[in-house]
Chain A
């Protein structure tokens, strides 16, 4: 049983470009959350998707958008990249009806903005 997978592993972009990161949840999970983790900091919650809708959102600008597909996989899109967007982007999946706040995290995508 595969856990949470993310692609790509690493990515280098320049300022102003757009990027799409992808996540496949753990088998049987229906909820996907995205986080941004800057070097030396804790993960910062971006948003959470369930039933293809954004259910919660952290304090991130509209440049950050997402999507969840019928198969529960998800994408994170960031437009007009800034240098400060350089970070490890983590995807986590969970079972919303499970009643247990156990999120399973993927290995992350390391985004570098030059």
Chain B
């Protein structure tokens, strides 16, 4: 089971781009990288998933280097409503997983 390491917290200001990096040194060949967002007293919400290089959707981009031992979630032009905890997960989506959330990164967006 590939575990992940993320910064405990990050601060940013409205309108800035935020990059959150996750380390997953023992990622397996079949593993994908998935990011979730969680607001207080709510269940996590899927943000983005990728295997290699770059993935982009309407809310974020995910950058994965060739060795896949880390990944970076990029949030463009954050707003106050992006204040939340962000989790990086690693696992094989084509098999049953023991999903390990870790402690996540608490992003605090300031006005």
Contacts and interface: CB of A to CB of B under 8 A. Distances in A.
A103 interface: yes
Interface residues of B, number: 24
* Size band of the interface chain A makes with B: 20 to 34
A104 B46 contact: yes
Given A43-B44, A92-B43, A108-B43, A103 B102 contact: no
In the A-B complex, the 7 residue pairs with the smallest Cβ-Cβ separation, listed nearest first, are A105-B43, A101-B93, A42-B101, A55-B96, A102-B46, A56-B96, A43-B101
Interface of B: 32, 34, 41-46, 49, 85, 87, 89, 91, 93-94, 96-104
11 contacts: A31-B96, A41-B103, A43-B99, A48-B96, A55-B96, A56-B96, A101-B34, A103-B44, A103-B46, A105-B45, A107-B42
